[in-house]
Structure 1
């Protein structure tokens, strides 16, 4: 019988607790009536649209992998991406979908450092593009949002993202902390980070790969924000593209914190807070968040099938999760 770790139980409790508080303070009938604005043709379109966004993500990922001298087909990347989505959404473990994606790439390239860096860069370029777009649109968004607390939270999230990247990629910082790592028997960690930084520098020198991946990231993030805008418009929620351009980076960064189950509950609470700052109702915030989440669940179902067919991958993930206990 599989044991559930106390930290996972705590995450589940936090997610359920936040959702319970939020849902006991809304008009269910009003929310349901507005939810019925969704039509089957629109849901089909939304799923196809977001699948194309996932394909763009995999195309960017392929460009990054090629910069390391490896090649993996788009179909293989897409299957691992869907499987990773499924893991991030449905399973309560601490491993996440990224471990599975790294496992799949390592299996095909026989290079764990390149696999790790490719997944890291694929995420990093996306968050960088989203933050950059939000900063570019911020002057206009300040007039639209008009709330300094939201703007400060936004800059805090961007600053945290930049700081985290510096911690990972800075050779000078690695030199400073390496003696401490060696002291605690973590020399292998320092060696791996050193290899990762070499690959990162190699990627940065590959201007073609860097430019293409950044351009794809900008295109993808514009598409993701527009996806949220399309869903909000279909639900008759009066929110602008610029407002979403500020809100989505905040939600994307804060929900990376491992304090709830896959961001569930925390994400809804953030939507409610941000919507309240532009005078929109709790019902509208939860409606948009839950609808986006449900569409993601539907889209990730093929990933569940992929995982069922990959018993060795599931075993690897289980071992990775046990090693973190």
Structure 2
């Protein structure tokens, strides 16, 4: 099968994770450890896609600093073509999360102002449009401004490509509202799905922790979304496309596993399978298998990710069940 070409536009920045050795004590110094690596929803997915055999190009703004160099090196190591536009006088965006020993988030700081400079005009560059015209899929994430996301998926060159997005957070997923009708798939968790419904309708959705998975396709389709994947932590994962929906219960994992990057790996595994012609249910299985590989790694993007390892991980993933919607 010919190599699948994916263009990714979105977050590629520095991720810092501080893990407290025990329970957090607010207003005090807490012993623990600090780790940093390249991250960003789009970039994590891009590196996984490259390791799964896709030809991937990453387009993102970057600062002229050591953090930017770290991101560039991570792209080289993963086999991703790096098409950054660099602002020499600015800092590369960063995300700093403080976690308790069990992996739960205490607080985080997102220094993402540079992404505001990725405006719609950059989407009109001839070289980028030609790249998109030759791609099989286009992946964006909600680190970019709403008007830029709309410009990307609305390009004439994007038509006929698989167009997907990563929600990033409940606060950022609403940036996809103007372009939902042009997306084939949006990857989100239940809280992000609920935020999208609330922002679009003006009515708070049912508590995402208690909402029935089979209700999400109808709710999200009403917003114009053509398809999506809704995760629920360790709970059932839902995928829908048009009038088809499937549900899968992931295998249990270590409760102390660092979930950073697991959702991005799921997106990559799902998209790689979809581009290879797999069914919706099998694509979801591939996505869950990719997330399991990431959960077993101390990194947000496992250096061991490969088609062979994904095949082994699939053995632990149950079949997806068809849902009536």
Common fold: TM-score over 0.5: no
Greater relative contact order, per chain length (Cα 8 Å cut-off, separation 6+) = 1
Instruction: From the CA coordinates, give the structure whose radius of gyration is larger.
Output: 1
The normalised TM-score by structure 2 is: 0.27
Which structure shows the bigger proportion of residues in strand conformation? 2
Which structure shows the bigger proportion of residues in helix conformation? 1
